[in-house]
Structure 1
Amino acid sequence: MKRKIAVIGAGVIGLTAALKIQKEYGENIVVTIYTADKSPNTTGDVAAGLWAPHLVQDTPEDKILKWAKETQDFFWKLWKDGYALDAGISLQPVVNLLCDDTSIPKWSTIAIGCNEIKGKELERFKNDHKIPYTGGFTFTSFTCESTKFLPFLENIFINNGGQIKIKKIENFSQLKDYDVIINCTGIYSKILMSDNSVKAIRGQILRVEASWQFHTVIDDSDDGCYIIPNANCVILGGTHQLDDEDTKPRIEDATRIIKGCKQMIPSLHEAKVLRHQAGLRPGRDQIRLELTTINLGNKLVPVIHNYGHGGSGVTLCYGCAGEVVDLVKIALTKSKL
């Protein structure tokens, strides 16, 4: 008899986990995704989708490096195999500038073509932007736009025999008939799991029309801004306001973002504003990726938690999905004993 797995959540974390499970088990397993909503109404649909670890709090660096590299390899394969347009994947240069003597992050060692910015080049950026940078680095990265990427993953999942059910899961007892449950509910885990370590990290952006802007620029200081091109617009950001659950765009935030981005790239004075957006990243002291069990009626059901990715859902999704598969193997082996 086929084993049944339920995945809660249809964002980038839930969809990649579901696909990776399908790839591992094929017809020997049935995977069903439960979600209160799906693209274009997920948290990820607000994001710029840049591959670069961000707001991962105290998650161990070795895990970040592993998950980020596996996800980067996944994007590389899609891009090289001709799926870039359908999946919303672009490859572009990134300039990441640092302040306050912040060191270059360790994940830069796996970034494509990474080079340090120093000397006269650093002075040029300091003078052009009128910001006292203390360092920086350049690399090539992917943007993965959720408004295309999530439907792309959904179609593959459904074509593989998966089902997506629009239903809000308020208690795991609703899924008592499944052999394994995968919890990919992001910020909703604060309620579903009563996990008070989950806190919203509010992010506000603007989408503008600036067809001449082809590279990403990031000011990594506490109040810094960023400019990230997507296929049909350029995203100006942003904020990272901890424990703030307001999804309505604020004038004061938009004003600061516009001012900061135009200071770095003056040509943005000519950019037409298309849309203001705000979303909530699922912040946590550490990403939770572990196997637990829960008593549902007369049986113990394995529950694998995969949430709390901060601003790195796109960056870490496929690597985390691989670890979910490893935990599913353990859960199914134990359930046979």
Structure 2
Amino acid sequence: MKSIEVVVVGGGVVGFSTAVCIAEALPSCSVTLVAEKFSPDTTSDGAAGLLFAAKFPDIPLERQRRWFRDSFDHLLAIAQSQHSPEAGVMLSSGWQIFKEVPAEKKPFWSELVIGFRFMSDRELNQFPDHKFGHAFTTIKCECPTYLPWLEKRFRKAGGQVQQRKVSSLEELSSSYDIIVNCSGLGSKTLVDDSQVYPVRGQVLKLEAPWLQHFIRAGDGMTYIYPGIHGVTVGGTRQEGDWRLQVDEGDTKSILERCSRLVPSLSRAKVLSQWVGLRPSRRNPRVERELVQLQGHRVPVVHNYGHGGWGVTLAWGTALDALGLVRQCLHETHLHAKL
């Protein structure tokens, strides 16, 4: 009896989350993950990895809430298990601060994190330029640790991993029954999606073990995220900018902005600097289609375009992608092969 061959394209947090979901839930499928780059060389590896979200304009809020909740619950279970240090997943408490009171005081995810409340005046006193804020506990997921842990989990579920560049879906269609596209920014060329664009992000890692709480400016431009090995500070949000080299002007700006919020950071040692391109899109694309490839129709499931919210939404959209793979199996009668 021949198993169904599924290929997942993409080795970042969305690709590996999706591959794990499929391999663990559908043992009748043989799942292969193919990517050009793996940790520590993926965009996910530089992500600060703190869970909260922005709203996408055209996706039902209930679906976005489900993506967030599924990811949060999945990572919370890891944070509370013995796997926490090995997976690089931990709880993190802190503040999101605003110079003006936002139109929407309570974000849609406020009930899904832990202990969400508005900041007290006493807490806000430490940020004199800010008038309003949220205090809550969320999860920090450190991808340089989490991705190898996911890969191990994927292999344990029988998954196989190949390192190579995929230039077209055609080159996969003769070997695989279902293609799952988690290629992020690569989808611009792989599936010719002109809606995908890079948003350049630059971050620094500092040695500041005295810092315990995250701080994020409401506009998302300035943030300080303590982690297991150092404090990630940022950032930049440069749309359509493909530069991957460190920009000294950005470094200076990041250090100045973060030190204004936390003066002691001016004494911190810079451990490393990193630049990545967020795979952005007006809305993430989580859907399926039948694509004509080499004379036959192949089911393709897409899961990409998360922008700066890849870590936050990866497990939730992976579960959606799993549901779409199940539909493909059902509707194209691929299970007749089993």
Bucket of the pairwise TM-score, normalised by the shorter protein: over 0.9
* CA apart distance, 1:60: 3.7
Matched, 1:272 2:269: yes
Residue 127 of structure 2 contacts residue 261 of structure 2 at CA under 8 Å; is this kept in 1?
Answer: no
Secondary structure of residue in 2 paired with 1:261: helix
Residue 55 of structure 1 contacts residue 311 of structure 1 at CA under 8 Å; is this kept in 2?
Answer: no
Residue 54 of structure 1 contacts residue 310 of structure 1 at CA under 8 Å; is this kept in 2?
Answer: no
Secondary structure of residue in 1 paired with 2:236: coil
Report the equivalent of 2:259: 262
Instruction: Render the CA deviation track for 1:120-162: whole Å, top value 9, x for unaligned.
Output: 543x1342xxx2x232101101111110000000011112211
Q: Which ranges of structure 2 fall in alignment gaps of 5 or more residues?
A: none
Report the equivalent of 2:71: 71
Report the equivalent of 1:169: 166
Report the equivalent of 2:97: 97
Report the equivalent of 1:203: 201
Q: For 1:29-44, list aligned pairs within 5 A.
A: 29-44=29-44
Cα distance in 2 between the residues matched to 1:252 and 1:57: 32
CA RMSD of aligned residues (A): 1.5
Letter in 1 for 2:241: D
**Number of equivalences:** 330
Q: For 1:39-118, list aligned pairs within 5 A.
A: 39-54=39-54, 56=56, 58-102=58-102, 103-104=104-105, 105-118=107-120
Residue 56 of structure 1 contacts residue 311 of structure 1 at CA under 8 Å; is this kept in 2?
Answer: no
* CA apart distance, 1:100: 3.5
Change (3 A) 1:317 1:251: same
Cα distance in 2 between the residues matched to 1:40 and 1:179: 30
* CA apart distance, 1:33: 0.5
Q: For 1:97-246, list aligned pairs within 5 A.
A: 97-102=97-102, 103-104=104-105, 105-122=107-124, 124-127=125-128, 131=129, 133-176=130-173, 177-221=175-219, 224-246=221-243
Cα distance in 2 between the residues matched to 1:269 and 1:22: 46
Report the equivalent of 2:19: 18
The share of aligned pairs that are identical, in percent, is 34
Report the equivalent of 2:303: 306
Instruction: Render the CA deviation track for 1:166-222: whole Å, top value 9, x for unaligned.
Output: 111111111112111000000111111111110101111111101111110011236
Cα distance in 1 between the residues matched to 2:57 and 2:38: 27
Cα distance in 1 between the residues matched to 2:55 and 2:66: 16
TM-score (norm 2): 0.94
Instruction: Render the CA deviation track for 1:212-235: whole Å, top value 9, x for unaligned.
Output: 11110011236x411001111101
Residue 19 of structure 1 contacts residue 157 of structure 1 at CA under 8 Å; is this kept in 2?
Answer: yes
TM-score (norm 1): 0.94
Secondary structure of residue in 2 paired with 1:108: coil
Cα distance in 2 between the residues matched to 1:336 and 1:64: 30
Residue 190 of structure 1 contacts residue 198 of structure 1 at CA under 8 Å; is this kept in 2?
Answer: yes
Secondary structure of residue in 2 paired with 1:157: helix
Letter in 1 for 2:216: I
